[in-house]
Structure 1
């Protein structure tokens, strides 16, 4: 049986240090989006029904968007995705020992967090 997948509410924007402050100002001051205060020092904004997280990442030359996919069974999801030839890329960011999820890359090189706990960021 195929695991159930659906889009999660979290979008991560990984931004190089030289673009970080201007990017945060854009969402906060120019667009006036509501900042997610309860998870400071993380920088996040309410983005409609989603949450947009902005992370400063040294060594990057351009920004990337990372998306969250939630599933009802991460073990079945891992098997299904591997059988479909989808590349797992857990080395890109440590999720911690107790996190029920993993990283994949889509065929277009978009990073996705496959998360067994909806809204856990």
Structure 2
């Protein structure tokens, strides 16, 4: 049986340091998107993006911006087996995940990073 997949609610924009402040200004002052409250002073800025949440992450090691997407699945173990059988590349080295989080990273053929996490689309 194949696992079910659904779009997640999170979009992460990974932004190089040299473009970060201009990008924040673009979303805050030019587009004037609603900025979501930070839980802690050093939290990543987040903006409402329709029914999604856009995270703006500063990444000193990048030379150009990247978009990372979230995909939800109903069974993380079955999803991992399915991706492996389909020849998709796991990218767990890309960024550490919180301990106990039922999730992993995978790359699409065009090198878009996806966080595959167990959950529902509600």
Normalization by structure 2: what TM-score? Answer: 0.93
Superposed displacement of residue 97, structure 1: 1.8
Normalization by structure 1: what TM-score? Answer: 0.94
Superposed displacement of residue 59, structure 1: 1.3
Counterpart-to-counterpart distance in 2, 1:72 and 1:11 = 20
1:87 to 89, 98, 104: 89
User: 1:106 matched to which residue of 2?
Assistant: 108
Q: Which runs of 5+ in 2 are unaligned?
A: none
Q: Which runs of 5+ in 1 are unaligned?
A: none
- Structure 1's consecutive aligned runs of 4 or more residues displaced over 4 angstroms after TM superposition are none
CA RMSD of aligned residues (A): 1.2
Counterpart-to-counterpart distance in 2, 1:20 and 1:45 = 15
Bigger proportion of residues as helix: 1
Aligned in 2, Cα 1:118/1:27: closer, same or farther, shift over 3 Å? farther
